[in-house]
Structure 1
């Protein structure tokens, strides 16, 4: 932490956010039980960044705080999930861990420009279509052809397509759906900043660099 190295508890302005944050982390941990999360706060908002292991995106879940705070720390996502007190609407910040490479290259805070505001239903349909196509094409493969390399190549083909009318790769849409960021009603927006593209939802965002984030397979589940 940058301001205070001792354990501290952060209280969320809306108690419901604690449950939503816990659900967000639970979905993240489905793909990677050893996942890390980077926490950043510089005022009345704490942002929780994660990177689902089977999506080439970075996701962020912001939460309003009851009182301003300052911190910047990478922690175990599992320990953070366990530290959330849903009834009290607060969590104790876990001890710092050595962060993975992605935690040092987060999307920019400002400078985003709007590219469009796709209808929420259209975005949800696109996410569902990605999952349905992958499953159908996987089932069409002979058992001996369902190798990890073949599945990764199929996922890459599907997820590299863009959301109609935008340059946003469908991997960002699928990740938002899988992490529960498309559950709430409200406007969506596709934004751009330099090499980054971002899908903003009422519950958080998914962001991806145009050149992609290398190093992990992208097989959907």
Structure 2
């Protein structure tokens, strides 16, 4: 067993923010894992809340330059966060889920125009939730199955915001994880290769864009 030194945050409030993030992940999945990457005095914590189909990213500043790359239990890391002292004890490594091996790039991000303001993003999520509830309530009893309800949910949450290509499920994930800012705080949409990233001061969600459909034209 490798014993890792505790992580000391540059600001104790960052320990509390990390604990809140981990708590939300564990709420969705008690067995959630997170991948930790640290370098140059910064820490990035990656998680994947189920059903949203996105990666969630929370960053924090560290007091010291620490080199770290490990996948751990989100619950065990949450237990090791000491908010009062602004530090976190890193638990033993676990076997990472498949997503932990495919992370967004660190560099090469470019702005994507057209992202609505934070208030509009919240409104879009609220409207989608209301639509799902309405359509779910209208389902006849014989169609009130998990399969049909999942189909309705996928249809709604796969819709994109204008020409940005960002699906509503990414915005819903950001709101559910506490990443969406108040109305007067800006959010950014970035792209790098096949990845899209919704970034706010409170965290990011990233996802790989679906590949374009291949069109085959018959030979004359």
Please say whether Structure 1 and Structure 2 have the same fold, judged by a TM-score greater than 0.5.
yes
Runs of 4+ residues deviating >3 angstroms: none
Does 1:202 find its partner at 2:178?
Answer: no
Normalised by the length of structure 1, the TM-score is: 0.89
77-86 vs 113-122, greater mean Cα deviation: 113-122
Q: Which has the larger radius of gyration?
A: 2
CA distance in 1, matches of 2:143, 2:36: 41
Deviations 1:36-89 (A, max 9, x none): 000000111100100001111001000111111110000001111111111111
1:187 is matched with 186
1:106 is matched with 103
Give the paired residue count. 209
1:177 is matched with 175
2:215 is matched with none
1:15 is matched with 12
Query: The residue matched to 1:68 in structure 2 has which SS?
Result: coil
Query: The residue matched to 1:61 in structure 2 has which SS?
Result: strand
Contact kept, 8 Å, 2:181 with 2:200, in 1: the verdict is: no
Q: Aligned pair in 2 of structure 1 residues 154, 102: CA closer, same or farther (>3 Å)?
A: same
1:157 is matched with 155
1:41 is matched with 38
List runs of 5+ in structure 2 lacking aligned partners: 212-220
List runs of 5+ in structure 1 lacking aligned partners: 213-221
Contact kept, 8 Å, 2:181 with 2:187, in 1: the verdict is: no
- Given candidates 122, 132, 141, the residue that maps to 1:134 is 132
1:217 is matched with none
Per-residue deviation at 1:122?
1.2
Q: Which one has the bigger strand percentage?
A: 1
Q: Cα RMSD between the aligned structures?
A: 1.7
Normalised by the length of structure 2, the TM-score is: 0.89
1:60 is matched with 57
Contact kept, 8 Å, 1:130 with 1:159, in 2: the verdict is: yes
- Given candidates 120, 123, 148, the residue that maps to 1:122 is 120
Query: Which structure is higher in RCO with an 8 Å CA cutoff and minimum separation 6?
Result: 1
